[in-house]
Chains A and B, each alone.
Chain A
Amino acid sequence: MTTSLPHDSAWGHVTGQSVFIDDRAPLRGELHVGVVGSPIAHGRIKSINLAAAKALPGVAGVFTAADLHHNIWGTIIQDQPLLADQTVNFIGEPLVVIAAEDRETLKIAKRLVKLDLEPLTPILSIGEARQQQQFIAVKRTIQRGDLAAAFASAEHVLEGVFENGGQDHFYLESNCAVVYPGERGNLEVHSSSQHPTEVQHLVAEALGLKQHQVTCIVKRMGGGFGGKESQAAPFAVFAALAAQKLGRPARLVLSKDEDMVMTGKRHPFQTDYKVGFNAEGRIVAAEIHLYSDGGAYADLSTSVLERAMLHSDNAYYLPVALITGQICRTHTPPNTAFRGFGGPQGVAVIEHILEDMAIYLNKDAYAVRRRNCYEGERNTTPYGQVVENNVLPQLFDGLHASADYARRREEIAAFNAASQTQIKGLAMTAVKFGISFTTRFLNQGNALVNLHRDGSFQVSTGATEMGQGVHTKIAQIVAEVFDVPATQVMVMATSTERNHNTSPTAASSGTDINGAAAQLAAEQIRDRLAACVAAHFEQPERGPLEEIELDMVRSHAHIVFEKGEIYHRDQPELRISFEDAVNMAYLNRISLSGYGFFKIPGIGFDKEQGVGTPFRYFTNGVAASEVLIDRFTGELKVLRTDILMDLGRPINEAIDYGQVSGAFVQGMGWVTSENLVMNPEGHLLSHSPTTYKIPNIQDTPRQFNIKLLSNHEAKNVRGSKAVGEPPLLLGLSVWAAVKNALSYANGRQLTGLKIPATAESILRELGAAEAAHAPQPVA
């Protein structure tokens, strides 16, 4: 069943009826909650004067660190105060929470808080942090083979430093929460969070409640992209603090500017690398030292760095490799999960290296990539996992043909030789994305399936809906178990009351884990229904004292569920409608609920040694992008992108298409126009869409072809493959195409192009090329 069922919220979205947090009608007495953040990047808190704010009519409460029962948090390493109490370590770091009767009063009250901070010198770059040895957690290493010997045997060696910038998530719905106080100190928290369980746990811990006193409900998010994996929780705590202390409903909704200033982003990286290769362009050794900018606190940085290290090979075999990783501590918001979770940064380095190797060897970069692609016996990653069911060569060859790469390469060379005003480039890059949380315990999930007497289902899992269509896919999975229409299945708002100890909806695993758990739960009900129907077929008439007893030992494989009916495989005239069977089961006191628990089998990674099988499988793809650059302004246009991906057997092809298209454009934004600009004091200057430019509808490739490879080998739920993050990394094809274009302009010299390749940075490279090629005066 590969259908393109519409998103389960689509009707609500197009009519404006879908309810997001701030669309909820206010309850009687509801308060507006806001946060006052630090105005400086680093400093000591001398005093906080709240008198004027408290005295303002309409202010209901003003809170600081002292009002919290427990004031330290961190998803992995507990090192971050919810409300800063001794020092401030980034601009926007929350210090004071204010609750007011209305928005206007809240605005004024925020301005009345008097902070006395003693400024300290901030560290604002990876370079400074490295120089001052300011690191978070320990250095990690993945190593294979004899590096010295391999480099000694290499015909060519390139080394350098590569840098990528950060990226704001720019989910359209900024962080928000509304909290309703209930009986016995209980709190009902509605949060725009990818991780309701963490919100529940953090609210309970911070406010001194038991976990069972707090329920977190997530109906939907207006986008998440990783930005609401860990960092939604503190804002829910702030609203909960006001609700608890004042006994009134409390709502906190950040503005876009506040959200962009206060929350962490994709990690910038600075990477020292050295690569040895032979004359054909085959890598013999690679040394890659990754330094990420973790920001002020640990947040998810250790896991993000780990994934960057595990993706430094990408689709390419590194026979001998040393990969290290270290997190730098700076006075910026703690950087966090963002679609790809370190993967894009690791992959960017190796794609940069391969593009440079091609320029250096005067070869086509496609040929160099193809030569290094995992293939045959060359199929073990530097950390020892075998790349099984490897479709990468097939993807490379397939797209090379379908994108007409060779012919276009010739056309581009001719165009570039002729045009005085513009220059073109073409590049193909790949993605091999490891699926599973690298932290093993997160790879578990539970699901509850309730079958109602009219044959309709309510399904609850830990998966949160942020637009990616996980609820639609889960509904399809459950419907498929009974072969009833998916519209008969409703996936409910995610609530810690129904599904507890859940993992974040992250790592592209939402459907893999929660869909599998829902499938198990549904199968329990199906098996009972099958047993019930089998007994009924054997003895259709029963007296008033007789009740169907389920025989769960015997096989009921002869009972077939098909198109809303249940029948006997060998005697098809024995049949009953699905609804009648459900009602019969109920009357015979048979449970119509299923609780499924799923854990991903066969994974494990030794973080200390850097060895293991962290991933259940890989999602793979390739993309070829062609760009056009204005030689005089450096402005960039993507003319055409072709994508070929292996997504197994998609549960919902249209949803997967939307994930590929959306992730690609987001990745393209990261490598081109999305430029986070900070001033020397650490103020983020690009904190709203006026100055922070995500791709617009005019920026998408003029020709945009997305194709899926047919693959029935996938071992994941329903033979599908995870899709959320991997296509984002294909945005790098645009960046590589810019490098390729520059190589035509500068006589195939290596450039210092970084991520993002803004118009300004492209023009700088073009200018350097022109200066180098200016006619020299004859002596």
Chain B
Amino acid sequence: MMRDYLLVYINGQRHEIRGEEAFFSLSDYLRYTRGLTGTKVVCAEGDCGACTIIRGSLRDGREDLHYEGINACITFMHLMDCTHIVTVEGLQDNGSLNPVQQAMIDHHGAQCGFCTPGFICAMSDHANHCAYQSERPVEQLETQRLRNALTGNLCRCTGYAPILNAGESIDLKAFTPLQQRYDTPEMLSDLQAHASHSVQIQTRERLFYAPNNLRDAAEFRVRRPESRIFSSATDMGVLINKEKSDPVVITNLSRIPEAHSLREENGQIVVGARVSLSQLENFCRSRIPEFARLMRIFASPQIKNKGTLVGNIANASPIADTLPFLFVAEAEIELYSTQGTRRVNINRFYTGYKQLDMRPDELISRVYIPMLPKDEILRLYKVSNRKDLDISTFTAAIRLQLDTQRQITGAAIAYGGVGPVVMRLPRTEASLIGCPLDVASFAAAGKLAREEITPISDVRASADYRYQLAENILRKCQAELEEQTSEAVVF
């Protein structure tokens, strides 16, 4: 069945959204259509969190909704189909403040107040997760996890200390889970019934199409080759807000059930096109811990809850944080079209700056990530001007195989931010074969790495710094292996 409207619940209220409004940003819709002005917009690029709202969505294996914080400024109403949006206005519990709100008052967590609704939403989402949604509910918020949960929210007034004090004081037993508060059987069955529909919304200027199977998606690609696939718009949203792009034919894969699939199969992790980075981070925590660790500093929770691995791959940025790992892991991209499917090794997928080995009629349906043997060494690095929630200056993945004498028998090294695409360093890799894990070998490899890259100077760093990092990261890897330390300890 095809429908011509979006179904969205906002603070428990049902809305059918048609026409132009389907193309509004979520924040504009909330503020200017619904008058819910608690949601603030500051940067309009997902980097400050003032627009944080909590999105509840259907998820396999759950009877109620899965709630998580996202940025409202860089998402669009058409991406909100079949979700429940909870804004700061919807967080009071039967007219009284929820424990997060009360703690933020008691501990002076708000000063000017402009970032506060975003913090309230992000902290309430975290509280909801820790008190109810998590596999291991707890009664108190732990400081470092609280910091991680609030990484996507900037405050310029408080210096964060009062906000942390507030968070640490909350008694989660007093927190009513959003699911208990809002998830009525009527709302759940309404959302479920609508989730299997395809959606098409046509206005004078724009077309949105969300097919409910891959075949239709592929046919649409043939019919409308100018169409843009919006995964979660964490990048497109920024480009549109900053008037750098204005696609008029938009398609989205979220109504396709298999796109949401994430599983381990034949020694590979199989990631569907709609799997969020948060889901992947959780999934990898026990399977590829080093990748999960890097994902912790990848971006804010709000971005990771929205953004997908496939989106990160398709966006083709030379500083996309997942790519160096996928390169050394020899991940494969599955491309789907009306002609059938084909798989491309990610090392051959990028042919130039933002250029992909992908035809206009193809779409990325899955990613296959081979699991790494346990005895291999994997080190992932991201250097940025600010450690958290920053776009990388330089990224690196180093994968080493050792023999019983701890001599290197295999090396895969991929760098990002040092050329138009993420690149492997074949000469540097070869130079390490047969070497021990010693200073001299890695210092020499570092010098060689400089010769294989072509970084530029930009707003984030000079080319010189990137050359130096390309050299140093190998030395750092060696020193950490020797000291048996990891930067995860403090950084």
A interface residues with partner B (beta carbon < 8 Å) = 4, 6-7, 9-20, 22-23, 25, 107, 169-174, 220-225, 255-257, 419-422, 466-469, 628, 630-633, 635, 637, 639, 654-655, 657-658, 660-666, 673, 675, 677, 685-686, 688-691, 693-700, 702, 704, 706, 758-760, 763-764, 767
| Given A20-B114, A421-B480, A172 contacting B154 (CB threshold 8 A) | yes
Tell me the B84-121 residues at the A interface (CB within 8 Å).
87-89, 91-92, 97, 100-102, 104-117, 120
Residues of A within 8 A of B162 (CB): 654, 657-658, 661
B475 at the interface (CB under 8 A from A): yes
**CB-based contact A675/B114 at 8 Å:** no
**CB-based contact A256/B42 at 8 Å:** yes
| Given A256-B42, A420-B482, A688-B43, A704 contacting B161 (CB threshold 8 A) | yes
Q: How far apart are the CA atoms of A628 and B158 in the complex, in Å? A: 23
**CB-based contact B113/A12 at 8 Å:** yes
| Given A15-B97, A700-B161, A689 contacting B243 (CB threshold 8 A) | no
**CB-based contact B461/A223 at 8 Å:** no
B104-143 CB contact bits vs A (8 Å, 1 = yes)?
A: 1111111111111100100000000000000000000000
**CB-based contact B111/A467 at 8 Å:** yes
Q: How far apart are the CA atoms of A658 and B155 in the complex, in Å? A: 12
Residues of B within 8 A of A704 (CB): 161
**CB-based contact A420/B112 at 8 Å:** no
Q: How far apart are the CA atoms of A759 and B87 in the complex, in Å? A: 37
Distance in angstroms from B25 CB to nearest chain A CB is 11
The residue in A9, A691, A697 that gathers the most chain B C-beta atoms within 10 A of its C-beta is A697
**CB-based contact A255/B44 at 8 Å:** yes
**CB-based contact A16/B114 at 8 Å:** no
**What are 8 sample pairs from A and B whose C-beta atoms fall under 8 A apart?**
A10-B108, A15-B101, A256-B44, A466-B112, A632-B476, A688-B45, A689-B45, A764-B465
B424-466 CB contact bits vs A (8 Å, 1 = yes)?
A: 0000000000000000000000000000000000111110110
Q: Which of B48, B50, B147 contacts A698 (CB 8 A)?
A: B147
**CB-based contact A635/B383 at 8 Å:** yes
Q: How far apart are the CA atoms of A664 and B50 in the complex, in Å? A: 22
Residues of A within 8 A of B468 (CB): 763, 767
Residues of A within 8 A of B5 (CB): none
B55-63, B180-188, B388-396: which lies at the A interface? B388-396
**Which residue in chain B gives the minimum CB-CB distance to A665?**
B159
Q: Which of B31, B91, B386 contacts A699 (CB 8 A)?
A: B386
B374 at the interface (CB under 8 A from A): no
Residues of B within 8 A of A758 (CB): 385
Q: Which of A467, A633, A677, A691 contacts B112 (CB 8 A)?
A: A467
**Which residue in chain A gives the minimum CB-CB distance to B161?**
A661
Tell me the B470-489 residues at the A interface (CB within 8 Å).
472-473, 475-476, 479-480, 482-483, 485, 487
Q: Which of B101, B111, B150 contacts A658 (CB 8 A)?
A: B111
Residues of B within 8 A of A221 (CB): 112
B232-264 CB contact bits vs A (8 Å, 1 = yes)?
A: 000000100011000000000000000000000
**CB-based contact A14/B389 at 8 Å:** no
Residues of A within 8 A of B473 (CB): 632-633
The residue in B48, B87, B104 that gathers the most chain A C-beta atoms within 10 A of its C-beta is B48
B33-41, B308-316, B347-355, B412-420: which lies at the A interface? B33-41
Q: How far apart are the CA atoms of A173 and B113 in the complex, in Å? A: 10
Tell me the B158-190 residues at the A interface (CB within 8 Å).
158-164
**CB-based contact B483/A662 at 8 Å:** no
**CB-based contact A222/B105 at 8 Å:** no
**CB-based contact B111/A7 at 8 Å:** yes
Q: How far apart are the CA atoms of A698 and B164 in the complex, in Å? A: 11
**CB-based contact B390/A693 at 8 Å:** yes
Interface size counted on chain B using CB atoms at 8 A: 87
Residues of A within 8 A of B15 (CB): none
Q: Which of A4, A665, A759 contacts B383 (CB 8 A)?
A: A759
Residues of B within 8 A of A631 (CB): 476
* 8 pairs of A and B residues whose beta carbons are closest in the complex: A16-B38, A467-B112, A222-B114, A467-B111, A13-B113, A665-B159, A16-B88, A661-B159
**Which residue in chain B gives the minimum CB-CB distance to A633?**
B383
**CB-based contact A16/B37 at 8 Å:** yes
Q: Which of A172, A673, A690 contacts B114 (CB 8 A)?
A: A172
Q: How far apart are the CA atoms of A297 and B112 in the complex, in Å? A: 29
**CB-based contact A14/B97 at 8 Å:** yes
Residues of B within 8 A of A4 (CB): 108
B198 at the interface (CB under 8 A from A): no
**CB-based contact A696/B389 at 8 Å:** yes
**CB-based contact B491/A172 at 8 Å:** no
Q: How far apart are the CA atoms of A701 and B484 in the complex, in Å? A: 25
B204 at the interface (CB under 8 A from A): no
| Given A662-B159, A677-B459, A17 contacting B491 (CB threshold 8 A) | no
**CB-based contact B110/A9 at 8 Å:** yes
| Given A10-B104, A17-B38, A170 contacting B156 (CB threshold 8 A) | yes
Residues of A within 8 A of B390 (CB): 693
| Given A696-B151, A696-B154, A697-B147, A657 contacting B108 (CB threshold 8 A) | yes
Q: How far apart are the CA atoms of A665 and B162 in the complex, in Å? A: 12
**CB-based contact B112/A223 at 8 Å:** yes
**CB-based contact A662/B42 at 8 Å:** no
Residues of B within 8 A of A20 (CB): 40, 113-114
**CB-based contact A421/B151 at 8 Å:** no
B387 at the interface (CB under 8 A from A): yes
Q: How far apart are the CA atoms of A171 and B154 in the complex, in Å? A: 10
Q: How far apart are the CA atoms of A255 and B238 in the complex, in Å? A: 13
| Given A696-B388, A699-B387, A685 contacting B459 (CB threshold 8 A) | yes
Q: How far apart are the CA atoms of A760 and B469 in the complex, in Å? A: 10
Q: Which of A224, A630, A675 contacts B385 (CB 8 A)?
A: A675
Residues of A within 8 A of B479 (CB): 420-421, 632
B153 at the interface (CB under 8 A from A): yes
Other than A661-B161, A696-B389, give 4 A-B pairs with Cβ distance below 8 A: A16-B89, A220-B112, A686-B459, A700-B161
**CB-based contact A174/B42 at 8 Å:** yes
**CB-based contact A635/B491 at 8 Å:** yes
B193 at the interface (CB under 8 A from A): no
B372 at the interface (CB under 8 A from A): no
**Which residue in chain B gives the minimum CB-CB distance to A23?**
B37
Q: How far apart are the CA atoms of A9 and B110 in the complex, in Å? A: 9
**CB-based contact A630/B111 at 8 Å:** no
Q: How far apart are the CA atoms of A61 and B292 in the complex, in Å? A: 54
Q: How far apart are the CA atoms of A685 and B462 in the complex, in Å? A: 14
Q: How far apart are the CA atoms of A696 and B384 in the complex, in Å? A: 13
B1 at the interface (CB under 8 A from A): no
Q: How far apart are the CA atoms of A767 and B446 in the complex, in Å? A: 14
**CB-based contact B391/A467 at 8 Å:** no
**CB-based contact A698/B105 at 8 Å:** no
B157 at the interface (CB under 8 A from A): yes
Q: How far apart are the CA atoms of A540 and B460 in the complex, in Å? A: 78
Residues of B within 8 A of A691 (CB): 391, 459-460
Residues of B within 8 A of A6 (CB): 105-106, 108
Q: How far apart are the CA atoms of A633 and B394 in the complex, in Å? A: 10
Residues of B within 8 A of A695 (CB): 159-160, 386
| Given A10-B108, A10-B110, A697-B151, A663 contacting B116 (CB threshold 8 A) | no
Residues of B within 8 A of A759 (CB): 383, 385
Q: How far apart are the CA atoms of A170 and B460 in the complex, in Å? A: 18
Residues of A within 8 A of B45 (CB): 688-690
**Which residue in chain A gives the minimum CB-CB distance to B153?**
A697
| Given A220-B112, A256-B42, A16 contacting B117 (CB threshold 8 A) | yes
Q: How far apart are the CA atoms of A699 and B386 in the complex, in Å? A: 8
Q: How far apart are the CA atoms of A171 and B156 in the complex, in Å? A: 7
Residues of B within 8 A of A632 (CB): 469, 472-473, 475-476, 479
Q: How far apart are the CA atoms of A444 and B206 in the complex, in Å? A: 58
Q: How far apart are the CA atoms of A513 and B263 in the complex, in Å? A: 65
**CB-based contact A654/B108 at 8 Å:** yes
Distance in angstroms from A127 CB to nearest chain B CB is 19
B361 at the interface (CB under 8 A from A): no
Residues of B within 8 A of A689 (CB): 42-43, 45, 47-48, 154
**CB-based contact A172/B115 at 8 Å:** yes
